[in-house]
Amino acid sequence: MLRSFTERLRSVTAELTKFVVVGGFCFVLDTALAYFFRFTVHLGPTTSKTLSTIIAVAVSYVGNRLWSFAHRVDDDRGHGQDITVYAGINVVGLVITLVPVDVAHYLLHESSPLAFTVSGIIGTAVATVFRFWAYRRFVFVAAPELAERAALV
């Protein structure tokens, strides 16, 4: 019983560490692109954050599929179902991300670069917690024969 718990904890810790590395890279990419689109290209706050999030999510999918959750992916499966569910989860994540951005801009009338960046970071942080849970639960679901490999990766 204790061994099973320890192995499971090690597996989750390994996944979470890899997820944080991929997510950290994508967070920097998302934040930089959102700032670029908003203050260099002069797009609106919602459009800027939406575009940056879509690009970061695409990069994140590759990193998570090939590294963070690679041991959970059965190589014989097609990519159609997991990418469709991944996209659906990220639509929800995008909405979560946009709520603080839109509240800051449209309700509080805060349009400074600092307000835009901070509201984007807050939304991204909340959406990241949701995404980690949802990816493990619905996208990168370990097949029983792959679960053993999880503790070793």
From residue 54, alpha-carbon distances to 3, 30, 41, 85 in Å are 40, 9, 17, 15
| Distance of alpha carbon 51 from alpha carbon 134, whole angstroms | 22
Contact 98, 48 (CB under 8 A): no
44-65 tens-digit pLDDT: 999 999 999 999 999 998 898 8
Please tell me the predicted confidence (pLDDT) of residue 81.
Answer: 63
* 66-116 confidence digits (pLDDT tens): 887 777 766 545 555 678 888 899 999 999 999 999 999 999 999 999 999
| Whole-prediction pTM | 0.78
Q: Tell me if residue 42 falls in helix, strand or coil.
A: coil
Rounded Cα distance, 82 and 97, in Å: 22
